[in-house]
Amino acid sequence: MWLRVSCNLAFDIETPTPFILMLRPRSGAEQWIERDEFKIYPNVPIVEFTDDYGNLCQRLVAPIGKFTIFTSSDVKTSEFVDVNFEAPFVEIQNLPNEVLCYLLPSRYCESDRFNDLANTITADKPVGYEQVFAIEEWLRTNISYIPGSSDFPISATEVNYKRSGVCRDLSHLGIALCRSLSIPARMVVGYLHKLHPMDMHAWFEAYVGGRWYTFDATQTEAKGGYVAVGYGLDAADVAIFNQFGPVAHSLEQRVTVEQIKI
C-alpha cells in the first residue's frame, strides 16, 4: 500500500535553542520513500547526519518566537507484517556484527532482570520466532495499553510493576524479555496506518531466522501499514526531537497517516 505520512510540530522559543530532529524515514527492505518534504519556518541552517543506528537526523538552532517544522512523505509499505513461526533462533556466534548491540541491557530495557519471567512465558515454545510471539501475546494479555497515560519513558522494570503503559512502554518490556533469551531486539518509532488515537507510534523488532520481524502488542492482530522513522536500543535513541537548554513550549504536534493508493 502507499501511505502519505506527515508530522507538524510548533514551538514557542524563548531563547535560541538547539534541536536534534529525527523526522525523515529512509528507504529500506520494508519500505520505499517516493516523495519526501521537509519545511521549517522561519528558515535556519540545517545540518543532516546519520547516527550510529542509520537514522537520518537533522541539527539546527531554532530562533526566538514561533518555530514550526513540517515533514511529509509518500511511502510504499506492506499491507501485512511478515509472520514466520519457522524462523529459528540465531546462535550468537552467527549474528552479524551490527546486530550484537541489540543483545545487551540498555537504559530502559534491563534485560538482565527478566530471565526468569522470559523463560516462564516461553517454557513450551521452540526457540526463535515462537518465543517472541509468545512474549507479544503475554504483553497483550497482561500489560494494559493506555494511550496518553505517560508523558515520559519508563523502563521495562517499571512497566512490569505498573502493568500498564503507552506503546513505547510495552515495547521496552518486550525488548527486555527478548534480550534476556539472547534474541536481539530493537525499538522502532514511526507511523501506523489507522492507529487510534493517531500519533507517532512505537513497536519492536526481533532478529530471528536471519532477519528482523515486527511485533506490536498494542494491536489486536498482525497488520501492515507501518512506516519506520527511527531505530535504536530503546526510547532514548528514537525521540523524534531532542531540545536542549530552557524548555521550548510545544504549541502543536499533529500526525496524519492516509492511504493514497493500493
Domain ranges across the chain: 2-78+240-259, 92-221
pLDDT tens for each residue of 107-163: 999 999 999 999 999 999 999 999 999 999 999 999 999 999 988 999 999 999 999
Q: Is the pLDDT of residue 46 over 90?
A: yes
Give CATH for domain 92-221.
3.10.620.30
Bond into 42 cis (ω within 30): yes
Q: Is the pLDDT of residue 88 over 90?
A: yes
Which residue would you say has higher pLDDT here, 190 or 262?
190
pLDDT of residue 151: 83
The whole-angstrom separation of Cα 4 and Cα 20 is 23
Q: Around Cβ 128, how many Cβ atoms within 10 Å?
A: 21
Average pLDDT over residues 70-95: 97
**What's the mean per-residue pLDDT of the chain?**
97
Q: Domain 2-78+240-259's class?
A: mainly beta
pTM exceeds 0.75, yes or no: yes
pLDDT band at 182 (very low <50, low <70, confident <90, very high): very high
Q: Are 192 and 3 in contact (CB under 8 A)?
A: no
Q: How far is CA 102 from CA 12, 30, 77, 130, 136, in A?
A: 37, 19, 24, 19, 18
String of DSSP letters for 21-44: EEEE---BTTEEEEEEEEEEES--
